[in-house]
Amino acid sequence: MARDARGDPRHAALTRQAAFEYAGRNVLINAIAPGTIDTPILADITPEMKQANADAHLIRRLGRPEEIASMVAYFFREGAFLTGLTYPVDGGWSVKGNF
């Protein structure tokens, strides 16, 4: 069974199915599976909780919004032959086996 970067077969299946359905229309479907990103939504958590989230990533820090944007830009620049996959941009969270 195919799994996405987070180990969830449902997300991988949705991305793959959409790629199958839209490929004939020259529409490429991909997904990004981000780790915990340091955004204003985290403003209300304690510093300890924020550090625990950072420590859950292999690289021991939170992601930055521009790192996700960089992956989106990559799809636009280089992604003409990419479709049907989920790309982890998670600082090693998925490799660490946190799911």
Longest CA pairwise span in the chain (Å):
49
pLDDT on residue 1: 43
Asked if the structure places residue 63 within a domain, the reply is: yes
**30: domain range?**
9-89
Domain count, the chain: 1
Distances (CA, A) of 98 to 6, 14, 38, 40: 8, 22, 18, 23
Answer whether 63's CB lies under 8 Å from 38's CB: yes
Asked if the structure places residue 74 within a domain, the reply is: yes
Asked if the structure places residue 98 within a domain, the reply is: no
- Is the pLDDT score of 6 beyond 80? no
Q: Whole-model pTM?
A: 0.82
Rounded average pLDDT over 41-50: 95
Rounded average pLDDT over 51-64: 96
